[in-house]
């Protein structure tokens, strides 16, 4: 389960970076970053990280 969360975090962060570079997605790109950070914080709080 932990590796799945880290994979999701990395994918969301990568999509965010790609969106910033290519200037696509608008506010959706920032939503992806917020989701990735929320998953990271949840992972750290629950002690799975």
Residue range 1-12, pLDDT digits in tens = 668 878 888 888
Long-range CB contact pairs, 6-14, < 8 A, 24+ = 6/43, 8/36, 8/39, 9/36, 9/39, 9/40, 9/43, 12/36, 12/39
CA atoms of 45 and 16, how far apart (whole Å) = 23
pTM of the model: 0.63
Residue range 26-44, pLDDT digits in tens = 777 788 788 888 888 888 8
Written as six digits, the tokens of 39 are 């998953």
Contact by Cβ (8 Å): 28, 19: yes
């Amino acid at each position: 389960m932990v590796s799945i969360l880290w994979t999701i975090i990395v994918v969301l962060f990568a999509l965010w970076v790609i969106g910033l570079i290519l200037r696509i997605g608008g506010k959706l790109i920032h939503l992806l970053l917020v989701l990735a950070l929320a998953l990271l914080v949840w992972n750290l709080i629950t002690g799975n990280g």
